[in-house]
Structure 1
């Protein structure tokens, strides 16, 4: 038992996510010595997670520092504590205005101890897909509470570390479970299960310890995971707790989430949202292709019917120069933000890759996620758009030797044209016609 709790404290608490979660910022506290603390800003809320704290830690000051940073972003804050943390921490959180939630059982199992259970003949296990996603979300919303809501799990973006399994009977989804591989640790974390079905446990263990390289599970099969953790509210989910304890899990401690709410209004969405296999992404690509007659080709140029007004430049002047490339990206990001009213989102598309929707005023700054927009077409078609297609950029990776950049929409040209002339030189075309 002590060995399992030590592994949990060492590897999971205060763990810095890798890869970073989409639209989130993960920060260390530079004033805290001798312990690992991660403060995560999601834009919609924030979370503090840390390992055991040294006895000399100034707990009121530590709590106040984190709370003040969340307050600066108008983010509600969640602070996870454990039964073996110093009692003074809960007192410091209470004094700072945090409200404690229900106590949850923290469980750890060795993957080798998890039983293998086959589903009934009329059911089968499979990876969640686009067809079943809506039913899975309904099941997740109507069950729990889960260690981490499925909505947050999905908002983290497409990553091989995050997987969702479903139990299906024909076209009907009977149950779902989602889990995360904690890269760099021996752990798989069971984030949620809509019904206490033992079939999920064996399947998670199989994927995490299989010697076979499976296309969508290759990160799992290479990780050599040995342990699985879970959290259960015993009052709300007694059947799930009973299943886990009967399947080889051991309770190593308890956890409690303390919540603080700022005076300001939190943002309704993260600053960045990944768009991959979903209707919004498909719709945007379809409308862009139909409106601009997008025709990808390495030999036929310019790749789109350039609209009026638009200006197109060769990007040869900045190719291979990291400083000038960074200046080009910085200039275009500022111009894009200045071209749309506050609250309007923009879209960054990458042909045959994952796209992103983002708030241009909530990215790229201090304690903000990286800016997702790219301008220089570095081997791919990079496209930045307003949702209604009234303005944007189109980067062609092969035209004119090292690529071209078309900027369209009067608002964006007003903001960007002078800087682009300075960085890239004279335009090649205006409104799709050769520039004189």
Structure 2
């Protein structure tokens, strides 16, 4: 059993420390000191590390440069913060016009222990896919779940599968030919981790065991790919389920978003 401190250390070293080398082809990145500035088909994303050595003034200037860069592009940008980052980071982001979105819980589990035989409910079939038409169907389902245009997701999944075909597994859950849920396993090359992404489910199909079955199926694939750990940025809805399955809470993560419309 790993302690909380052990898991946090390995997360920061392997997961946070490997972002630049595992991006899909449609993403581009550039370092600005301790900040990795990333452009994607959807919006900008920023990842930072080792901010403790910056003065408040230096941190404010770093935030402003990020905001100004995406302002010129007319795009929104998300700074992905963690609960164990320097304590004044949220306040400095807020002063620069960034606003917080929903905080998620970072949980980590042992892949071998999570690779159970959990099955989906009667009438639901889970299968792995690499077909672009399925990625489009997944994007349509996600758009329905979140009430936003998620059409960009199809290209993102296609790019990931093209970039690292041996490290990505996309699972689709169907009932009567309809996509009711989908989730994907993303291996983090050079690490012992696989990330569990997706898992959104149509409202009428929630609470029936689909999410649990998708976790188990992806854990089985992770074990076959020699992944030791699984990590999830879990919502309030999925975090309790994952912790009951054996995941451990490690930290929290909150996206702070600046938009040219605000």
Superposition TM-score tier, normalisation by shorter sequence: 0.7 to 0.9
Return the alpha-carbon distance in structure 2 between the equivalents of residues 141 and 43 of structure 1: 16
Q: Which residue of 2 is the match for residue 143 of structure 1?
A: 145
* Residue number among 225, 228, 233 corresponding to 2:227 in the alignment: 225
1:102 is paired with a residue whose SS is: coil
Residue matched to 1:209:
223
Q: 2:112 matched to which residue of 1?
A: 112
Structure 1's unaligned 5+ residue stretches are: 211-220, 265-436
Aligned residues: 240
Counterpart secondary structure, 1:87: coil
More displaced 10-residue stretch of structure 1: 240-249 or 172-181: 172-181
> What is the match of residue 126 of structure 2?
125
Cα offsets for 1:199-231 (capped at 9, x unmatched) = 111221221221xxxxxxxxxx2xx32111112
List runs of 5+ in structure 2 lacking aligned partners. Answer: 202-209
CA contact (8 A) 1:28 1:38 kept: yes
Cα 1:101–1:172, aligned 2, differ >3 Å: closer, same or farther?
A: closer
Q: What pairs with 1:240-259 in structure 2 (closer than 5 Å)? A: 240-259=238-257
TM-score (norm 1): 0.50
Q: Distance in 2 between matches of 1:228 and 1:150?
A: 27
CA distance in 2, matches of 1:131, 1:206: 25
The SS at the match of 2:233 is strand
Whole-angstrom CA distance in 2 between matches of 1:43 and 1:198: 30
Q: For residues 13 and 95 of structure 1, do their structure 2 counterparts lie closer, same or farther at Cα, with a shift above 3 Å needed?
A: same
- Match for residue 40 of structure 1? 38
Query: How far apart, CA to CA, are the structure 1 residues paired with 2:119 and 2:76?
Result: 42
- Report Cα offsets for 1:375-415 as digits up to 9, x if no partner: xxxxxxxxxxxxxxxxxxxxxxxxxxxxxxxxxxxxxxxxx
RMSD value, Cα = 2.7
Provide closer, same or farther for how the CA distance between residues 246 and 50 of structure 1 changes in structure 2, counting only shifts above 3 A.
same
1:192 and 2:198 correspond: yes
Higher helix share: 2
Q: CA deviation at 1:122?
A: 4.2
Structure 2 residue aligned with 1:432: none
Change (3 A) 1:118 1:19: same
Greater relative contact order (Cα < 8 A, sep 6+):
2
Alpha carbons of structure 1 residues 100 and 175: separation in structure 2 relative to 1, 3 Å? closer
| Corresponding residue number in structure 2 for 1:59 | 59
TM-score, structure 2 as length reference = 0.79
